[in-house]
Amino acid sequence: MSATQKFSIASIPADGVGKEVVAAGRRVLDALAENSSGKFAFDWTEFPWGSEYYAKTGQMMDPKGLDALKDFDAIYFGAVGWENVPDHISLWGLRLNITQNFDQWANIRPVKFLPGVQSPLRKADNTELDWVVVRENSEGEYAGLGGRNLSGRGPGNEVALQTALFTDKGCERIMRFAFDLARTRTVKKVSSVTKSNAQQYGMVLWDEVFNRVAKDYPDVQTESVLVDAMSAKFILKPEDLSVVVASNLNADILSDLGSALAGSLGLAASANLNPERRFPSMFEPVHGSAPDIAGQGISNPIGAIASAALMLDHFGLHEEARRVEAAIETATGSGHLTRDVGGDATTEDVTEAIIKALTLAPAAV
């Protein structure tokens, strides 16, 4: 019998519903491991960082937190943000602190249309839709460059500068990642999102690098679409999409649009990847901390559980990742839906339905 493969995972539930959905995802992964006949196991370490930690310490995470995280196989993250901390402090103090310092430069956000979930997009009723947004996750509009100055001149005279950073290296590596991903899909196509008609420096560089990289992938279809036109395409011609690659801000917005079209932000999964594996990658649902429903047990755990499936893929457990995804579809298809997608199921109900579907489904031999 082969030895059990053990994966060490840092769990950071953080704020609001993040605590509920991370707990749900952990239960699903542990159920999967328990039924693996000893093939693999997960070793969890939970960190208490977030807005409650900030209230006690004045910091979103331990100053030595990155050192504590760097040797884990992966990070499983919930959501960040609460009324006691300004959003830019909570985000930069925890989530972006991790993604930036661990060079998690590739962010993937699949857009999944699940059975039983009604999409506001009428085309989804009779058209097979499935695409993934690839987000440049290390620079662009979220590089954190800029500042606020001249406040000494008095009210109304302060100046704020927010500088977007586009590097040849940063553009090329995310585009090659997108092309490599496209080669694994049924429809081999990459759509680049740009705004080079108005942003004549950074986005022109983005376009030039895309055209250069595309020459190395003659088997992959390409197109370059302005971001405003792409937002319309998400609604009017989504069947024409396979892999959409965009800058940090553009991909952030478009991926949320895609998830809303699929039915809810509560369904949306993501992976923040350091493809070279110099640092651990981080997996998290796209939704926020949702203070209005936190603690009520009605949050949608699917985004977090689907993010756990992306983590399984990162570990090389591809068959197990497909089983989790199939279990999600079984649960939604049988009517286990939280209120954000038109149902009345609790977080516990949906989690139990997914675990039941997962344990009843035969594992690959």
132-151 per-position pLDDT tens digit: 999 999 999 999 899 999 98
For residue 200, pLDDT over 60 is answered with yes
Work out the pLDDT band at 359, boundaries 50, 70, 90.
confident
CB 130 within 8 A of CB 237: no
Q: What is the largest CA-CA distance in the chain?
A: 74
Helix, strand, coil fractions of the chain, as percent rounded to 5: 45, 20, 35
CA distances from 321 to 160, 166, 223, 315, 327 (A): 45, 34, 30, 10, 10
For residue 1, pLDDT over 60 is answered with no
Beta strands in 5-129 (DSSP E): 5-14, 40-46, 74-79, 106-112
Q: Residue 361: its pLDDT value, please?
A: 66
Instruction: Give φ, ψ of 251 to 5 degrees.
Output: -70, -35
CB atoms under 10 Å from CB of 19, counted, come to 20
Cβ-based neighbours of 130, under 8 Å, separated by 6 or more: 110, 111, 112, 113
Q: Residue 365: its pLDDT value, please?
A: 39
Which residue from 257, 2, 266, 321 is spatially nearest to 121, judged by alpha carbons? 257
| pTM of this structure | 0.94
Work out the pLDDT band at 2, boundaries 50, 70, 90.
low
* Tens-digit pLDDT profile for residues 15-58: 999 999 999 999 999 999 999 999 999 999 999 999 999 999 99
Beta strands in 218-323 (DSSP E): 221-226, 243-246, 269-273, 281-285
Alpha helices, DSSP H, located in 125-201: 168-182
Share of the chain above pLDDT 70, in %: 98
State mean pLDDT over 119-135.
94
Burial grade of 200 (CB within 10 A; 0-12, 13-18, 19 or more): exposed
CB 255 within 8 A of CB 135: yes
Question: CA-CA distance, 102 to 275, in Å (whole number)?
Answer: 11
* Tens-digit pLDDT profile for residues 287-346: 999 999 999 999 999 999 999 999 999 999 999 999 999 999 999 999 999 999 999 999
- Torsion angle of alpha carbons 228, 229, 235, 241, nearest 10°? -120
* Tens-digit pLDDT profile for residues 316-333: 999 999 999 999 999 999
Measured at the CA of 143, the angle between CA 47 and CA 183, to 5 degrees, comes to 85
* Tens-digit pLDDT profile for residues 213-249: 999 999 999 999 999 999 999 999 999 999 999 999 9
Which residue from 132, 330, 352 is spatially nearest to 246, judged by alpha carbons? 132
Question: CA-CA distance, 99 to 82, in Å (whole number)?
Answer: 20
State mean pLDDT over 249-273.
96
CB 302 within 8 A of CB 267: yes
Q: Are strands 74-79 and 5-14 parallel, antiparallel or unpaired?
A: parallel
Which are the catalytic amino acids? 142, 195, 228, 252, 256
* Tens-digit pLDDT profile for residues 175-192: 999 999 999 999 999 999
* Tens-digit pLDDT profile for residues 60-99: 999 999 999 999 999 999 999 999 999 999 999 999 999 9
Work out the pLDDT band at 362, boundaries 50, 70, 90.
low
Q: Residue 360: its pLDDT value, please?
A: 81
In eight-state DSSP terms, residue 70 is T
Instruction: Look up residue 69 and give its two tokens.
Output: 């995280």
Q: Residue 311: its pLDDT value, please?
A: 98
For residue 364, pLDDT over 80 is answered with no
